[in-house]
Amino acid sequence: MGRRKSKASHSIPNSGEVSKDNSDLGNSNESTMVEVSNISALPSSTLASSPCSEAVGSDHTSADYYFDSYGHFGIHEEMLKDSVRTKTYQNAIYQNAFLFKDKVVLDVGAGTGILSLFCAKTGAKHVYAVECSIMADTAIEIVKANGYSNVVTVLKGKVEEIELPSKVDVIISEWMGYFLLFENMVNSVLFARDKWLVPGGAVLPDRTSLYLTAIEDADYKLDKIDFWKNVYGFDMSCVRKQAMLEPLVDTVDQNQIVTNCQLLKTMDIEKMDSRDVSFSAPFKLVAQRNDYVHALVAYFDVSFTKCHKPIGFSTGPRSRPTHWKQTVLYLEDDLTMCEGEAVTGTMSVSLNSKNPRDIDIKLTYHFNGKRSQASRTQEYRMR
Ligand SMILES: C[S@@+](CC[C@H](N)C(=O)[O-])C[C@H]1O[C@@H](n2cnc3c(N)ncnc32)[C@H](O)[C@@H]1O
């Protein structure tokens, strides 16, 4: 199929636009920009050096690299240029000023401060922009350069560790990772919600759904997975096993889709519990034509249901591409599916016990078709 494969190493959430061609979805304010090192309104815990900056040293873990990766402007450039992502947030904020006007807002994981600036521009009373990477220093400069220092306060630190002078009316965050949950930043948003949101306050976006479909992908499976079976005459199947364990993040051509798309899980960010991040969901994927199936593909939708007119975007293969692309899980068995036949099973998703930013996926599938049969459990790990 000639599509490019990439690895989910350091994930970055990807994208947003108000619009949906998504067939899958259904001024200057002056003065007191207070740098964290000068904040008087905040307790001294806020002034401690950022946990992110503590990551610099010889003892890096993958969690440290997670924060470090957001310290470089390149990753923010990629996210900002994802116009599906950034435009959706912009439209959700600008077209719904009633949600922000005169409200106190918390931006969880502010990065460059773009979402905080959108909120400030639309009339927020005050915005706390919390960012744990060194990008917080840059956000301070950006806020100042745009004249919003009296409205936006950038706090450098983890949202779990900072202190605010008051509770907030609205939480905004772009926390989604590859496969929705990679990075597990949603738990930081839930923490902020429980600690800092006033009763009845809003979390934006407030709804996400994870979907599954099945694709034909013979060429790529042969080139990247089965390649290891015979490398210049040598058996390197042990590497094939490793390749099969790792979901691949890449853009899938919609013509590869063989079955329906099945909703696996919907998360209501205002109500969910951090334990809901781990779940098990059944699926039934029915072939819409005669074809071979080589992989299952996961993707997610994001919605701002509090808006005057609901706004959102999809990261599915039938929608405009985002930096999240899709997540491809190769099957050991190639399924020969006839139109109307179904592959059924269960997908279980859990946080890895050693590094909760990594995701463990267990897939059980059964197929009893006229022309092929298969029944198997496979495990994958996003890291
Ligand atoms: C996907 S980026 C979004 C950046 C920005 N909001 C935007 O939309 O362009 C997520 C940001 O959250 C930060 N972050 C992740 N976990 C955090 C935490 N627990 N506390 C504070 N910031 C966090 C990361 O460093 C990263 O810059």
pLDDT at 39: 28
- Cβ–Cβ < 8 Å for 281, 264: yes
| Residue 74 placed within a domain | yes
User: pLDDT tens digits, residue range 26-56?
Assistant: 333 322 223 332 222 332 222 223 335 444 4
Q: CATH number of the domain that 69 lies in?
A: 3.40.50.150
Does residue 131 line the site of ligand 1, with CB under 6 A? yes
User: pLDDT tens digits, residue range 280-306?
Assistant: 999 999 999 999 999 999 999 999 999
What is the Cα gyration radius of the chain?
22
- From the list 163, 155, 187, the residue with the least C-alpha distance to 173 is 187
Does residue 115 line the site of ligand 1, with CB under 6 A? yes
Residue 159 CA, closest ligand 1 atom number:
20
| Residue 300 placed within a domain | yes
Instruction: Give dist(CA 292, CA 221) in Å, integer.
Output: 12
**Which domain-ending residue is among 151, 175, 205?**
205
| Residue 128 placed within a domain | yes
| Residue 130 placed within a domain | yes
Instruction: Collapse the DSSP code of 363 into the 3-class scheme (helix H, G, I; strand E, B; otherwise coil) and give the result.
Output: strand
Instruction: Give dist(CA 216, CA 192) in Å, integer.
Output: 41
Ligand 1 atom 20: the closest Cα is on which residue?
158
- Domain of residue 199: give its range: 36-205
Quick one: 120 and 221 in the same domain?
A: no
Q: Which of 83, 143, 173, 174 to mutate for ligand 1's pocket (most ligand atoms within 8 Å of CB)?
A: 174
Taking the chain, what is the end-to-end CA distance rounded to the nearest angstrom?
Answer: 25
Cα–Cα distance list, 12 to 70, 179, 248, 254, 302 (Å): 9, 11, 14, 23, 15
Instruction: Give dist(CA 215, CA 259) in Å, integer.
Output: 7
Does residue 88 line the site of ligand 1, with CB under 6 A? no
Does residue 174 line the site of ligand 1, with CB under 6 A? yes
Quick one: 102 and 201 in the same domain?
A: yes
What is the identity of the amino acid at 169? Answer: D
What is the identity of the amino acid at 305? Answer: T
Number of domains in the chain: 2
Which pair of tokens denotes residue 50? 């950022």
Residues in the chain with pLDDT values less than 70: 1-68
> In this structure, how many other beta carbons lie within 10 angstroms of the beta carbon of residue 286?
16
Quick one: 226 and 89 in the same domain?
A: no
Give CA 160 to chain center in angstroms.
19
Quick one: 122 and 89 in the same domain?
A: yes
Instruction: Give dist(CA 49, CA 277) in Å, integer.
Output: 30
Does residue 119 line the site of ligand 1, with CB under 6 A? no
| Residue 2 placed within a domain | no
pLDDT at 100: 98
Quick one: 126 and 214 in the same domain?
A: no
Q: How far is the CA of 108 from the centre of ligand 1 (A)?
A: 6
Quick one: 167 and 313 in the same domain?
A: no
Quick one: 166 and 222 in the same domain?
A: no
Q: How far is the CA of 374 from the centre of ligand 1 (A)?
A: 42
pLDDT at 24: 47
Catalytic (active-site) positions: 174, 183
Quick one: 42 and 78 in the same domain?
A: yes
Cα–Cα distance list, 82 to 75, 76, 133, 359, 381 (Å): 11, 10, 21, 24, 26
| Residue 18 placed within a domain | no
Ligand 1 atom 1: the closest Cα is on which residue?
13
Instruction: Give dist(CA 151, CA 32) in Å, integer.
Output: 8
Q: Which of 66, 90, 107, 108 to mutate for ligand 1's pocket (most ligand atoms within 8 Å of CB)?
A: 108
Quick one: 172 and 246 in the same domain?
A: no
Residue 110 CA, closest ligand 1 atom number:
6
**Which domain-ending residue is among 205, 240, 267?**
205
